[in-house]
């Protein structure tokens, strides 16, 4: 009879422990047995936290190699959501920065150090194309040119504008049309066509939005120039 009290306490403790283990397993949390063993071995040790996914510049899935610049460009979506241009984890152009608009959104970057030279947008529906030409004519050798379309990138384009973008490495500029989606990275003085260009044609049969094609997103790593050439 004297053992009834201690035995009752032991039964209650065992029942509570087994119940806790069963609930842990049913809820899909850490194994009750492993957690119990952890507590017995080191009762002061807190549960291990899940490792956070590593973040890379501009949200890229992996880090860029040394001597390259990480970038991500997103074109505008219809005439509602503005474009974005990110370089080395710095947002060069976006709606939040209030420096994007209808037409062509262009950021000029020093190809050696990755510093922003200038960023402007040019209305290619109702604007003056001469303003765009003043911006892209006097580029120095090695200047990187980031372009993101928004709404209409092409109506006011003339032959000279298309030729300059082609000389910067574009394969699309010569055929760019009303409300096409276009993202492009080129450079002054390139010898070959740029590998950083995407284009979706405005087509009633395939447009994602009413009157506009889908938005584009392009990312990558651009080799830095080792020296400026004027």
* Distance from C-alpha of 75 to C-alpha of 84, rounded to nearest angstrom: 7
pLDDT number for residue 55 = 82
pLDDT number for residue 230 = 45
Nearest to 222 by CA among 57, 101, 78: 57
pLDDT at position 30 over 70: no
Q: Which long-range contacts (CB under 8 A, 24 or more apart) does 116-119 make?
A: 116/87, 116/90, 116/92, 117/143, 119/85, 119/92, 119/93
Task: Label residue 2 by pLDDT band (50, 70, 90).
Answer: low
pLDDT number for residue 15 = 74
What are the pLDDT digits (tens) for 75-129?
999 899 999 999 999 999 999 999 999 999 999 999 999 999 999 999 999 999 9
pLDDT at position 13 over 80: no
Q: How many CB atoms lie within 10 A of CB 142?
A: 20
Which residues share a beta bridge with 209? 212
What φ, ψ does residue 66 adopt, rounded to 5°?
-60, 155
Residue 19 C-alpha from the chain's centroid: 48
What are the pLDDT digits (tens) for 57-67?
999 999 999 99
Which residues share a beta bridge with 74? 84, 217
CB 98 within 8 A of CB 212: no
CB 182 within 8 A of CB 176: yes
What are the pLDDT digits (tens) for 119-158?
999 999 999 999 999 999 999 999 999 999 999 999 999 9
Task: Label residue 71 by pLDDT band (50, 70, 90).
Answer: very high
């Amino acid at each position: 009879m004297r053992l009834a009290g201690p035995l009752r306490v032991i039964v209650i403790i065992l029942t509570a422990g087994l119940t806790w283990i069963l609930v842990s397993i049913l809820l899909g949390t850490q194994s009750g047995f492993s957690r119990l063993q952890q507590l017995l071995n080191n009762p002061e040790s807190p549960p291990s936290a899940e490792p956070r996914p590593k973040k890379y510049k501009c949200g890229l899935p992996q880090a860029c190699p040394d001597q390259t610049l990480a970038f991500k460009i997103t074109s505008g979506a219809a005439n509602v959501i503005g474009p974005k241009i990110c370089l080395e984890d710095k947002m060069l152009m976006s709606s939040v920065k209030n420096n994007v608009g209808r037409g062509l959104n262009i950021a000029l970057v020093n190809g050696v150090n990755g510093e922003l030279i200038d960023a402007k947008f040019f209305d290619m529906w109702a604007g003056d194309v001469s303003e765009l030409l003043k911006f892209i004519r006097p580029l120095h050798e090695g200047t990187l040119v980031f372009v993101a379309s928004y709404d209409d990138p092409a109506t006011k384009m003339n032959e000279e504008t298309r030729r300059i973008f082609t000389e910067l490495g574009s394969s699309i500029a010569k055929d760019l049309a009303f409300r096409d989606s276009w993202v492009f990275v080129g450079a002054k003085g390139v010898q070959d066509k740029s590998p950083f260009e995407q284009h979706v044609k405005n087509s009633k049969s395939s447009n994602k939005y009413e009157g506009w094609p889908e938005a584009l997103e392009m990312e990558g790593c651009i080799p830095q120039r080792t020296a400026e050439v004027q």
